Amino acid sequence: MPPLASLFRRAAIAALLLAAAPATATDVIGDCGPPASAENPLYTQAQKAKAKLEASTAKAERKRQVTERWAPLQAAHIELQAEAERRDAECQTLKALADATLAEVRACQAQCDRAANSPSAYEACLACAGPANAELARREAEYVAFTAKENRYNARVLDWEAQLKRFSADAEAAIPKVIDKEVDRMAAILSDSPAQFVVADSNARPNPSPKHYFQYFEQVTKNANHIQTAAARHNVDPDLVRAVIWMESTRGYYDVLTGLIMKPKTILPMNVYADYWTGFKVTREGLKDPALNIDTGTKILARIQARLTDKSIAKIATLYGGLAAQQETEYGKTVEYYYQTKPWLGRPNK
């Protein structure tokens, strides 16, 4: 049995070792949490806002002003994703090292717990405490360094997210308001102001040959040059203009006859409603000139088309036939039918 003084000395040393090798440590990585590289919901929201803006009827310049800010945000997303993946991998590596170190610390602590009563445990505690504490210090230093990098990364993410929020807000604000009232639609067309027109699908069917339909009265053939000029000026498919003129002139001829008795409301070849479109600064007399008439009608088509999210021929023609329409009409479907079949190619009046 060792002398009593020796036991007291060993107990004192063991107590010091006990304090030097704690059973728990808080300044090491214990849990990496969810992957930092997971998709950011604000980025997804901004992507959707961008797509919605691009599909809208906003002016091209307005779209450009907003969407040109997207490239830096997307580049930052790629960079932050790559850094997040590196951080995730680094965290897992540091966590594995921390787990191993804590296991060593706990094993050493167990030896130190028995050191006062066991010479062999005393020797083991004396041998393990220094290296265990050194490893623990390294883990704590790694934790401090990793946390500093994480804080810098999180600050960059917060700044990027703030930019994403501003982008989404600006994209939403740039999307023109949906207008469904006739008077508001007319005002938007006349002023060429931002707006969205929505026309729903319908089961309406074309009616290409009603009883009052006569190809003889078509005015497409003789106005071929005016159609090409107006379509090019307003960036409209010339076949759409031809289809509308075909629709109006082959069944609108009766306005010419009734006009001998009363003033017609609309004027061929595009049956422009004279009093309705005075905001274009055109007169009834002026609209009797086929060139001005076709130019005015084509301008109306162009501005309707620019404000429709679904720019189908039937929907453009539906609103040309009546700005109050909320869904496709027989008129719109019939113009679409003429657009597809191109009856003017038979050149009945050539």
Does residue 68 have a pLDDT over 90? yes
Q: What angle do CA 94, 95, 99 make, to 5 degrees?
A: 120
Task: Give the pLDDT of residue 7.
Answer: 39
Task: Give the pLDDT of residue 11.
Answer: 46
Q: How far is CA 69 from the centre of its chain?
A: 13
- pTM value? 0.73
Does residue 76 have a pLDDT over 90? yes
As a whole number, mean pLDDT of residues 184-192 equals 97
Task: Give the pLDDT of residue 19.
Answer: 53
Burial zone of 302 (CB within 10 Å; 0-12 exposed, 13-18 middle, 19+ buried): buried
As a whole number, mean pLDDT of residues 166-183 equals 97
The CATH fold assigned to 182-346 is Lysozyme (1.10.530)
Task: Give the pLDDT of residue 21.
Answer: 45
Of 15, 48, 149, nearest to 94 (Cα)? 149
Instruction: Of 82-86, 232-236, 316-320, 323-327, give the lowest mean pLDDT range.
Output: 82-86
Does residue 27 have a pLDDT over 70? no
As a whole number, mean pLDDT of residues 127-131 equals 88
Residue 42 one-letter amino acid: L
The position carrying tokens 């007291």 is 8
How far apart, in Å, are the Cα atoms of 321 and each of 49, 182, 248, 273? Answer: 33, 12, 10, 10
As a whole number, mean pLDDT of residues 108-118 equals 84
The position carrying tokens 């989404």 is 168
Residue 339 one-letter amino acid: Y
Q: How far is CA 55 from the centre of its chain?
A: 9
Task: Give the pLDDT of residue 295.
Answer: 99
Rounded Cα gap, residues 12 and 15, in angstroms: 5
Task: Give the pLDDT of residue 114.
Answer: 85
Task: Give the pLDDT of residue 181.
Answer: 98
Rounded Cα gap, residues 197 and 300, in angstroms: 13
As a whole number, mean pLDDT of residues 75-91 equals 93
Residues 272-282 pLDDT 10s = 998 999 999 99
Rounded Cα gap, residues 127 and 123, in angstroms: 6
Task: Give the pLDDT of residue 306.
Answer: 96
Coil, strand or helix at 197: strand
Give the pLDDT band (50/70/90) at residue 22.
very low
> Which residue blocks in the chain are alpha helix, DSSP H?
4-20, 41-55, 60-67, 70-114, 119-174, 182-191, 224-234, 238-249, 254-258, 290-307, 313-321, 330-341
Q: Break the chain into its structural domains and give their ranges.
A: 4-174, 182-346
Tokens of 324: 């109050």
Task: Give the pLDDT of residue 3.
Answer: 41
Task: Give the pLDDT of residue 177.
Answer: 96
Task: Give the pLDDT of residue 26.
Answer: 54
As a whole number, mean pLDDT of residues 134-154 equals 91
